[in-house]
Structure 1
Amino acid sequence: MKQDHPDLSVRRQCSLLSLARSSLYYHPRGESPENLAFMKIIDRQFLETPWYGSRQMARHMQRKGHRCGRHRVRRLMRLMRLVPIYQEPKTSKKHPEHKIYPYLLKGLVITRPNQVWCTDISYIPMRRGFLYLVAVMDWHSRKVLSWRLSNSMDAGFCIEALKEALARYGPPEIFNSDQGSQFTRTDFTDVLHDAKVKISMDGRGRWIDNRMIERFWRSLKYECVYLNAFETGSEAREGIGAWITYYNEKRPHSSHGLLTPSEAYDSRTQNLKTAA
């Protein structure tokens, strides 16, 4: 009996597990235990005060008795991809040679699923390291359409998540992201162009422009990540996957009354198909 090539088998496993290939071979990132502890403190505080830059965050750390200066805080915040909501020069991770698209959501009333999707990347602390999580969300229903974990900031895991969402749900009218280099590179935007999707990007440092998915990160971290000290990539994938299923299927969202995100998405898309 012919057996699959090992590399093909790994790719199939990654597809089934919503996990980037590199995360199957996860190794803790090379930061000291002290820096990892500081990163967790910074991450928690940033959820409470997303306007804190490195100077204010360093003051907060020092007031709490931590010996962590501004230069270290700035490096850790950049590593964690935390950008304050105000305009601050040279904090964005955009690529100087990549095209930046205009913000299309100003004044737009979003009333239906697949009108606007949004995406973002968040830092996920582990017991002895960290991972990055990307999610694609439907703006109206707040349903998470796809997600991927990775131990690097390479754009590959973002492209995988985007392609999965498009394959499962069809294209949206508008796709909104920040100006991070993972979302501005041509192999990411080409996927959207091929699907005839309009591309929208937040202003630099404008956390509030992508606020729907930022609220999702807050819920995920307080209700799942901070309550579980994940040891490995597979543990993180299983725990986060279970929580996202709960969030989509069982957790009513305040913007839709008693409906869960999946119910809000499915009921509205079914109504649109009936009307058509």
Structure 2
Amino acid sequence: MDEHRDRFGVEPICRALQIAPSGYRRRAACERNPARRCARAQRDAALMPHVQRVWDENLQVYGVKKVWHQLRREGHNAPRCMVERLMRRQGLRGVIRGKTVRTTVSDAKAPCPLDHVQRVFKAERPNQLWVSDFTYVSTWQGWLYVAFVVDVFSRRIVGWRVSRSMTTDFVMDALEQALFERRPERDKSLIHHSDRGSQYVSIRYSERLNEAGIQPSVGSTGDSYDNALAETINGLYKAELIHRRGPWKTREAVEIATLQWVSWFNHRRLLEPLGHVPPVEFEANYYRILESQTAAV
């Protein structure tokens, strides 16, 4: 409004935005003179710096209860609900016991492809549907992130990568490995499904899928069920390898162990949905039956 008021005028802009000119003028007056704001807004503005300070001074681990108690010790008699509301507004939260790392960081500005899977993780042949996701591993050197690309037909891990950062290059490396190993046909019959993480909906990742002739798909509601199969693979990886053999010291140790686990998973691990056979054997049986049918014709 302030940027264009000299050119168009306040009232025409308000009509276009369907807001009352009096509301805009009242807000502008409050910004020029904070004393004109309502009592609640003035109390919020006075307390918010103290909430931020207490949270920062205590290693950013305090939750609402401890921030509230510390403010009371300092003489700020604000109600707990007010502290909770201000912390939520400022994006502050207490530490949660256990290891919690946010890996799915959505980009609201990035256009998302349609959901072509609708939580039905089934495929009738190899290279019909891939799912991608990544998880985290704690090491003495810091957090590591491990990305997987899985062929839904056989649950075979066709691409993976370990990285120290959650970047687009990181997940693209896993995709490139999958493309090199599988060499899918460029007819867009292959669907690549992921969650709404900013890495997977980035321009570079989308362009690489299009270049390879792969149709992108992204979960519509943004919860774990939208990418349940990839979440299952992550869970197996954590339960069967990471949690059993930790603590992990270095990235190299995680990479070597992940390489060994992926090889075992693909070639030896029995999967109940496949009839208790390994993914590689399941695919080999499919191609053997396909060849026999072709020969019979």
Could you say which TM-score interval applies, normalised by the shorter chain?
Answer: 0.5 to 0.7
Q: Between the two structures, name the one with larger relative contact order (CA 8 Å, sep ≥ 6).
A: 1
Determine the structure 2 residue equivalent to 1:102: 114
Say yes or no: does 1:159 pair with 2:172: yes
Worse-matched range after superposition: 146-155 or 222-231? 222-231
Q: Of residues 203, 211, 215 in structure 1, which corresponds to 2:228?
A: 211
Distance of 2:255 and 2:180 partners within structure 1: 21
Question: Residue 128 and residue 107 in structure 1: after superposition, are their counterparts in 2 closer, same or farther (change >3 A)?
Answer: closer
Q: Deviations over 1:24-59 (max 9, x none)?
A: xxxxxxxxxx99xxxxxxxxxxxxxxxxxxxxxxxx
How many angstroms does 1:187 deviate by? 0.9
CA contact (8 A) 1:110 1:140 kept: yes
CA RMSD in angstroms comes to 2.5
Question: Residue 271 and residue 203 in structure 1: after superposition, are their counterparts in 2 closer, same or farther (change >3 A)?
Answer: same
CA contact (8 A) 2:143 2:164 kept: yes
Q: Read off the aligned partner of 1:262 and give its amino acid letter.
A: V
- In structure 1, stretches of 5+ residues that fail to align are 1-33, 36-68, 82-91
Question: Residue 173 and residue 269 in structure 1: after superposition, are their counterparts in 2 closer, same or farther (change >3 A)?
Answer: farther
Question: Residue 269 and residue 210 in structure 1: after superposition, are their counterparts in 2 closer, same or farther (change >3 A)?
Answer: farther
Within-5 A mapping of 1:171-250: 171=184, 173-228=190-245, 229-250=247-268
Distance of 2:228 and 2:173 partners within structure 1: 23
Q: Read off the aligned partner of 2:95 and give its amino acid letter.
A: R
Identity across the alignment (%): 25
Distance of 2:286 and 2:293 partners within structure 1: 10
Question: Residue 273 and residue 188 in structure 1: after superposition, are their counterparts in 2 closer, same or farther (change >3 A)?
Answer: farther
Distance of 1:149 and 1:107 partners within structure 2: 27
Question: Residue 99 and residue 131 in structure 1: after superposition, are their counterparts in 2 closer, same or farther (change >3 A)?
Answer: same
Determine the structure 1 residue equivalent to 2:269: 251
Question: Residue 260 and residue 131 in structure 1: after superposition, are their counterparts in 2 closer, same or farther (change >3 A)?
Answer: same
How many angstroms does 1:227 deviate by? 1.6
The alignment partner of 1:102 has SS state of coil
How many angstroms does 1:213 deviate by? 1.6
Q: Which of structures 1 and 2 has the bigger CA Rg?
A: 2
- Report how many residues are paired: 198
Q: Give the TM-score normalised by structure 1.
A: 0.65
Determine the structure 1 residue equivalent to 2:132: 119
Q: Of residues 282, 286, 292 in structure 2, which corresponds to 1:264?
A: 282
CA contact (8 A) 2:131 2:152 kept: yes
CA contact (8 A) 1:178 1:204 kept: no
Say yes or no: does 1:129 pair with 2:142: yes
How many angstroms does 1:272 deviate by? 4.5
Distance of 1:234 and 1:111 partners within structure 2: 37
CA contact (8 A) 1:149 1:237 kept: yes
Distance of 2:208 and 2:282 partners within structure 1: 27
Say yes or no: does 1:142 pair with 2:155: yes
Question: Residue 256 and residue 70 in structure 1: after superposition, are their counterparts in 2 closer, same or farther (change >3 A)?
Answer: same
Distance of 1:142 and 1:71 partners within structure 2: 38
Distance of 1:170 and 1:270 partners within structure 2: 19
- In structure 2, stretches of 5+ residues that fail to align are 1-58, 61-91
How many angstroms does 1:199 deviate by? 0.9
Question: Residue 274 and residue 199 in structure 1: after superposition, are their counterparts in 2 closer, same or farther (change >3 A)?
Answer: farther
Distance of 1:150 and 1:200 partners within structure 2: 24
CA contact (8 A) 2:119 2:228 kept: no
The alignment partner of 1:239 has SS state of helix
Distance of 1:273 and 1:95 partners within structure 2: 45
The alignment partner of 2:159 has SS state of strand
The alignment partner of 1:181 has SS state of coil
The alignment partner of 2:222 has SS state of coil
CA contact (8 A) 2:145 2:165 kept: yes
How many angstroms does 1:73 deviate by? 3.5
Determine the structure 2 residue equivalent to 1:43: none
Distance of 2:286 and 2:129 partners within structure 1: 14
